[in-house]
Amino acid sequence: MSTAVSPLAPTEVPDMPAIDGVKLATASAGIRYKGRTDVLLAVMDAGTTVAGVFTKSKCPSAPVEWCRAKLPRGKARALVVNSGNANAFTGKTGRQATTLTADIAAKALRCSAGDIFLASTGVIGEPLDATKFNGVLGTLAEQAVPGEWMSAAKAIMTTDTFPKVATSSVKLGRATVTINGMAKGAGMIAPDMATMLSFIFTDAPISATALQLLLKSGVEDTFNAVTIDGDTSTSDTLLAFATGAAAANGAPKISRASDPRLKAFTKAFRAVLANLAEQVARDGEGARKLVEIIVEGATTKASARKIAMSIANSPLVKTAIAGEDANWGRVVMAVGKAGEPANRDKLTISFNGIRVAKSGARDPSYDEAQVSAAMKNPKIQIKVALGLGKGRDRVLTCDLTKEYVAINGDYRS
């Protein structure tokens, strides 16, 4: 884990309120790191519903497979997360580790192992010694208290330089409900569903079916629109838990995602996802620039997404931004290789609102000094107008620096 906080880290951390029906506790189990917490236990009241989306990797971790198998039940009593070891590519040993972890947690909480959800993050390919959870989870079950959100977010970090949390409150019926979220992720980020790990909690009374639809649609323009390095993790897990405690205060029980009473909640829910997704981009390994890429005038939104991701994942584009060079030639390259409809002679490109290319050539009013000054900003916006249709999309990424190579070159050593 890096010790220097990203220069792009948020300047303010939200006050994270307690959520009825959720208690948190963290501990150090010595999974990989020394002198820091590496285990999180979140305990939920009986009746809590759960939804989840996971990596599309064909080589998923054992915890991802565990959660997929338990998700159809739609019920959860606890979440156990460890950092330092992803329990991925660990074969039969990995599956045994998930079973043992869930059994230990279930015994401590006196519930079914099927109501325990698991997530692991860290090194791939090394066996996870789940016996280290013996005693630890029992103690955490006794110590769990409401409101320990920052401690929880810190316990799930690996190469992250700051804990990532977000919150929102909104009216649902006569009650005010709260949505809290945390995330971890700084590298191996090209989500095909969510970030490496992210967890959302609310006291709203929402059925598992409605929550699942809300989550699946919510990730498309948030976590799925973020990339750090183009690599999709084996461990990507985004889980949402709804305790339903707000029903006692007048919140209506929601069974359908299309329920009109859910409109404000849906907006707030997506805002929390978007906030966390941006924090992941801000904490990209070695990042010094937050990069927003907007593609408009594409034939479809899906086409705009592919072109935007082509730009965002280009090492040449990302290193140019790190060097504060508005190299639009590299953007043209990334547009052209995306395999989507594009017309070179209609392309318009701008950096931070300054047009550098128009109609397939350098803009006649291009001013090198003006653009160079703009590229020194910590946030860079690249806008590409294709001039072909009404398709538009936006993705977030960061620059690619020498620090990224250093972090990943030393990750296992």
Q: Is 90 annotated as a binding residue?
A: no
pLDDT value at position 412? 61
Mean pLDDT of 300-313: 97
Q: How many other CB atoms are found less than 10 A from the CB of residue 365?
A: 10
pLDDT above 70 for 273: yes
Q: Is 275 annotated as a binding residue?
A: no
* CB-CB contact of 121 with 197 (8 Å): yes
Tell me how far CA of residue 50 lies from CA of 178, 259, 346, in angstroms.
16, 18, 47
pLDDT value at position 2? 47
Whether 319 is a known active-site residue: answer no
* CB-CB contact of 57 with 86 (8 Å): no
pLDDT value at position 351? 98
pLDDT above 80 for 411: no
Which residues partner with 199 through β-bridges? 182, 239
What pLDDT band is residue 194 in, cutting at 50, 70 and 90? very low
Per-residue pLDDT reduced to its tens digit, 379-398: 999 999 999 999 999 999 99
CATH of domain 290-409: 3.10.20.340
**Residue 340: how many CA atoms within 13 Å on its side-chain side?**
26
Tell me how far CA of residue 379 lies from CA of 56, 317, 398, in angstroms.
30, 15, 9
Per-residue pLDDT reduced to its tens digit, 221-254: 999 999 988 777 888 999 999 999 999 999 999 9
pLDDT above 60 for 190: no
Task: Kindly report which listed range (147-156, 184-193, 385-394) carries the lowest average pLDDT score.
Answer: 184-193
How does the average pLDDT of the chain come out, rounded?
Answer: 94
DSSP H or E segment with residue 165: strand 164-172
Per-residue pLDDT reduced to its tens digit, 92-130: 999 999 999 999 999 999 999 999 999 999 889 999 999
Residue written as token pair 């408009």: 296
Q: Does 22-282 carry CATH code 3.60.70.12?
A: yes
Q: Tell me the one-letter amino acid at 3.
A: T
Tell me how far CA of residue 327 lies from CA of 75, 133, 266, 317, 372, in angstroms.
51, 51, 39, 7, 10
* CB-CB contact of 340 with 306 (8 Å): yes
DSSP H or E segment with residue 341: none
Whole-number CA gyration radius for the chain: 22
CA 142-145-148 angle, 5° bins: 130
* CB-CB contact of 195 with 236 (8 Å): yes
Q: Is 195 annotated as a binding residue?
A: yes
Residues in the chain: 413
Mean pLDDT of 298-321: 97
pLDDT value at position 189? 58
What are the start-end ranges of the H helices in 123-262? 136-143, 149-155, 208-219
Per-residue pLDDT reduced to its tens digit, 347-364: 999 999 999 999 999 999
pTM: 0.93
Task: Kindly report which listed range (18-22, 50-54, 166-170, 183-187) carries the lowest average pLDDT score.
Answer: 183-187
Mean pLDDT of 8-15: 95
pLDDT above 50 for 193: no
pLDDT value at position 228? 82
Q: In the chain, what are the domain boundaries?
A: 22-282, 290-409
Q: End-to-end CA distance of the chain: give it in Å, rounded.
A: 13
DSSP H or E segment with residue 34: none
Q: Is 314 annotated as a binding residue?
A: no
Task: Take residue 179 and report the two structure tokens written for it.
Answer: 């949505």
pLDDT above 50 for 43: yes
pLDDT value at position 1? 44
pLDDT above 50 for 84: yes
Name the percent of the chain lying above pLDDT 90: 87
Is residue 301 exposed (0-12), middle (13-18) or buried (19+ Cβ within 10 Å)?
A: middle
**Which of 49, 90, 195, 243 does the annotation list as catalytic?**
195
> What share of residues in the chain are helix, strand, coil (percent, to 5)?
35, 25, 40
DSSP H or E segment with residue 402: helix 402-409
* CB-CB contact of 45 with 21 (8 Å): yes
